[in-house]
Amino acid sequence: MHRPPKLSHLALLAVSFAGLHAIGLLLFRAQATLVTYPFLVLAPLAGFAGCCWRIVAEEPESRSSWILLAAGLFLWTCGIFLSAWEDLLQHIPQSAAWFSDFSFFLYGVPVLLAISSASAKQNIPFFVWMDTAQALLTGFLFYVSVFSVMPFAATPLEPISSTTLVLLYNAENVILAAAATLRLLAQPRGHERRFYAILFCFLWIYAIAAGVYNNWAASNDGHTLMDLLIDLPFLYLAVAAVAPRTLREESERTPHKQTLALFIENVSPIFYTVALLALSISLMRQHFSAGTVGIFTALVVYAIRSTTLQGRYIRVQRELHEAHDRLEQMALTDALTNTANRRRFDAALALEWNRAIRNRYPLALLLVDIDYFKMLNDRYGHPAGDRCLVSVALALQSALPRSGDLLARYGGEEFAAILPATDESGARMVARTMQEAVHSLKIRNETSTGPFVTVSVGVAVFDSPQSAVPELIEAADQALYRAKQGGRNRIEATAQCDFLRDGTH
């Protein structure tokens, strides 16, 4: 980041520039035209240089608006340079429209794009290029509509009254200033707010100064101290662009102003398309080729934008659904063991219970407890305990033969397995497979059950339609208690099933 110079130094330079311009006009009144044009060219160049400085100083994602404003100032500088060439060498009256007017007209196009451009986070580069193309074409066709001739063509321009010309320029300036005001009211944050605040002041100073100067120049010839009015907005912009940032520029955006900003960003491209289409239709008779190109461009841009946005909307919706599914999966999964958590277990057990009643199938529940887990934690530390839980969970999961079976972390070192359509013998078989899988891990934990980690399993089987889910859980818990009381590393079962059907393990 470049360090900005002091504001007082910048203001002194601006005042000195305006003072030199005034002194030159007062001392060399006979050569006022030769004296004033260097200042009239240097003033917008100073504003352009200030924007370029800000482009370099800003973060990459905040540069696009400054680049557009710099492009507008470059067009304005080209316009005043052409105006000097027309005035000094071609001796064209100021009231006549000429090549310079094309640059002055186009100056507003990138400025309007800067006002209506989306925020850096919502920007789509391809859309920016499309908007730029149709905005430039709209400015081109508007020039043709006003002057009834192609710019830079061999055909001489048809003269229009100075009053009409002044009215057009003043209308353009006021529209730009009003648009900047509306965008500032949307209150963007941080760097964006700084840009729109500077642009707001610049465009209103320019609109007022240009309005006074244009009305005076329409009825007067020659160059006087009135030329200083042209310097003012560009000198302000040069100073403001380079000046240090203030804390007030970091204000937050309120919800209703955020909605206004989104409305402006979304409506602006449609405005370009509608304006381009209307101008193209109105020019079809006089300039068929230009009108046809304009209509074709407007339709193509609208079609591409609509298709792209629709595709983007579908993609975003799909990503949102996928993200929702991932979040839902995370909400139902134990973070450590990657098995189902207690919330998912409760929902699954209620579902399988109702299905068992409806289909008259048995339902088995296994509660699995790691024997002497506290002793392992105390002896080897909690990281070792966590690794043990993860390994045991994988082993228990591998012991479930069907995809419809569910393993969940019931709490602490306890796991639960829901086995739909499983009788007591099938449940015992799964429990033995679990014990063998855990023992094969050979996780060290010297206890009364042996040198390695073991598990105790309590088995309960759905017993009657009159029972309830809590009774099944209570039965499995009692069976697990008996297994632990009986010396651990055991399987105990509680089963009172009135109706068994096919489909068991």
Does residue 15 belong to any structural domain of this protein? yes
Mean pLDDT of 336-343: 92
pLDDT at 121 over 60: no
Work out the burial of residue 403: count CB atoms within 10 Å of its CB; fewer than 13 is exposed, 13-18 middle, 19 or more buried. exposed
Q: Say yes or no: 317 and 347 in one domain.
A: no
Whether residue 417 is contained in a domain is answered as yes
Please state, in angstroms and rounded to a whole number, the distance separating the CA atoms of residues 463 and 491. 19
Using the structure block, give the residue that is written with the tokens 């042996």: 450
| Helix/strand/coil (H/E/C) assignment for every residue in 408-472 | EEEECCEEEEEEECCCHHHHHHHHHHHHHHHHCCCCEEEECCEEECCEEEEEEECCCCCCCHHHH
Residue 460: φ, ψ to 5°:
-135, 140
Name the pLDDT band for 120 (thresholds 50, 70, 90): low
Q: What's the whole-number average pLDDT of the chain? A: 81
Name the burial class of residue 33, with classes exposed (0-12), middle (13-18) and buried (19+) by CB atoms within 10 angstroms of its CB: middle
pLDDT tens-digit readout, 41-63: 999 999 999 999 998 888 776 78
More confident residue, 87 or 399: 399
101 found inside a domain:
yes
Co-location of 56 and 124 in the same domain: yes
Domain that holds residue 401: 342-495
**Tokens 């640059």 correspond to what residue?**
103
Is 108 contained in some domain?
yes
- pLDDT attached to residue 85: 78
Do 13 and 117 share a domain, yes or no? yes
pLDDT at 128 over 90: no
Model pLDDT for residues 259-311, shown as the tens digit of each residue: 666 666 666 667 667 777 776 787 777 777 877 888 888 888 778 878 887 88
Residues 400, 263: one domain?
no
Burial of 435 (C-beta count, 10 Å sphere; 0-12/13-18/19+): buried
So what's the pLDDT on residue 251?
Answer: 47
- Nearest-angstrom CA–CA distance, 443 and 433: 17
- The secondary element (H helix, E strand) that includes residue 103 is helix 99-116
Residues 101 and 208 in one domain: yes
Decide: 63 and 55 in contact? Cβ < 8 Å: yes
The residue count for the chain: 505
Q: Which residues are bridge partners to 450 per DSSP?
A: 447
Which CATH number covers residue 408?
3.30.70.270
The answer to whether residues 18 and 156 belong to one domain is yes
Domain count of the chain?
Answer: 2
Is a pLDDT exceeding 50 seen at residue 479? yes
Q: Tell me how far apart the alpha carbons of residues 363 and 118 are, in angstroms, rounded to a whole number.
A: 58
- Of 342 and 186, more confident: 342
Residue 329 has pLDDT above 90, yes or no: no
User: What percentage of the chain carries pLDDT values higher than 90?
Assistant: 36
Domain C-terminal end among 324, 357, 380 = 324
CATH of the domain at 120: 1.20.1070
Residue 504 lies in a domain: no
- On the 0-12 / 13-18 / 19+ scale of CB atoms within 10 A, 419 is buried
Average pLDDT over residues 168-188: 80
Which pLDDT does position 219 carry in this prediction? Answer: 76
pTM: 0.57
